[in-house]
Amino acid sequence: MSANDIKSVRLPAGENVSALGQGTWGLAKGTHPRTDEIAALRLGLDLGMTLIDTAEMYGDGDVEELVGEAIAGRRDEVFLVTKVLPHNASHLGTIAACNRSLKRLRTEQIDLYLLHWRESIPLAETLKAFEELIKAGKIRHWGVSNFDVEDMNEILALSGGASVATNQVLYNLTRRGIEFDLLPWCHERSLPIMAYSPIEQGRLLSHPVLRDVAARHNVTPAMLALAWLVRQEEIIAIPRTGTPGHVRENRAAFEIHLDHTDLDQLDRAFPPPKEGRPLEML
């Protein structure tokens, strides 16, 4: 298993990123020793999981600081994603939030800067800030998170809106609502989805059918849940772990090939949506 053979996903601007990245929500709060969490992120880089997703919200900046420590000396290997909180997402607020994130992350540039979710500040204002940050070299791409189809249509209608790089949303076997509308909408436009909480924060792992299919492949339920996601085109999954052993497992999800029997069994246990429903968020 080398870092080079990892599947990648192409962003609209033409750049490839690893289809399996690393989430960070919940790190830096003492669940695991800090050294383990840093070692886990660094091991993920060694194994080619070079996209790291964080946010100014996580631990009120503590997680960005931990990420900054983990990637110190290895910045060039990382595709770094962070997010601005919606109440900071005014024109000047976004620029100030970005500067704070850069400092905590100990870097000069963020690769992808996302609006974490949408609130009342007009999208055009946030977009204007994103464009200025790109011109200033502080971010390379921008995108959104927790945007449903109507929000996506709105952003595309704005001047400059077509350069949105991704939409990061909740997507896993128990949260398949986006397959009805948002996912096809994104596929039609070759816009990758970043699937957050890909193992439903661990709640998915005790499901008997997931365990059954995983046992047939001689892998863990977490690996199976990730394999189900990353077998799809234009999906980037960002599992979070502070446990180095779990990083190895998660990376090995690419080695699992699900056949029709597996997929049918999973579809019966986790049915795809038959009608549209509002986007779910965690």
Nearest distance in Å: CB 77, ligand NAP = 18
Measured from the CB atom, the residue of 135 and 177 that comes closer to ligand NAP is 177
Catalytic residue set: 58
Separation between Cα atoms, residue 237 and residue 235, nearest integer Å: 6
Residue nearest to ligand NAP (CB): 23
Q: How far apart are CA 101 and CA 107, in angstroms?
A: 9
Of 63, 77, 6, nearest to 242 by C-alpha is: 63
Phi and psi (nearest 5°) for 211?
-65, -40
Shortest Å distance, C-beta 271 to ligand NAP: 20
Which residue, 59 or 242, has its beta carbon nearer to ligand NAP?
242
Least distance in Å: CB of 260 to ligand NAP?
Answer: 25
Return the number of the residue (87 or 92) whose C-beta is nearest ligand NAP: 87
SS3 at position 143: strand
Tell me which residue has tokens 């194994």: 47
Q: What angle do CA 234, 240, 243 make, to 5 degrees?
A: 135
Which CB, 226 or 260, lies closer to ligand NAP?
A: 226
Structure tokens given for 223: 């690996």
Terminal-residue alpha carbon distance, the chain: 32
> ∠ CA(149), CA(281), CA(45), 5° rounding?
100
Quote the least distance from Cβ 25 to ligand NAP, whole Å. 3
At CA 122, angle to CA 277 and CA 181, rounded to 5?
Answer: 20
What does residue 88 show for φ and ψ, rounded to 5 degrees?
A: -100, 0
Q: In Å, how far from its chain's centre is CA 222? A: 16
Smallest distance, ligand NAP to C-beta of residue 92, A: 23
Q: Using CB under 6 A as the criterion, which residues of the chain lie in contact with ligand NAP when the complex forms?
A: 23-26, 53, 116, 145-146, 168, 196-202, 205, 220, 222, 238-243, 246, 249-250, 282
Distance between CA atoms of residues 48 and 77, nearest Å: 9
Q: Measured from the CB of residue 204, what is the shortest distance to ligand NAP in angstroms?
A: 8
Minimum CB distance to ligand NAP smaller for 14 or for 30: 30
Reading the block at residue 163, the tokens are 């350069």
The secondary structure element, H or E, covering residue 152 is helix 149-157
Residue closer to ligand NAP by CB (options 154, 200) is 200
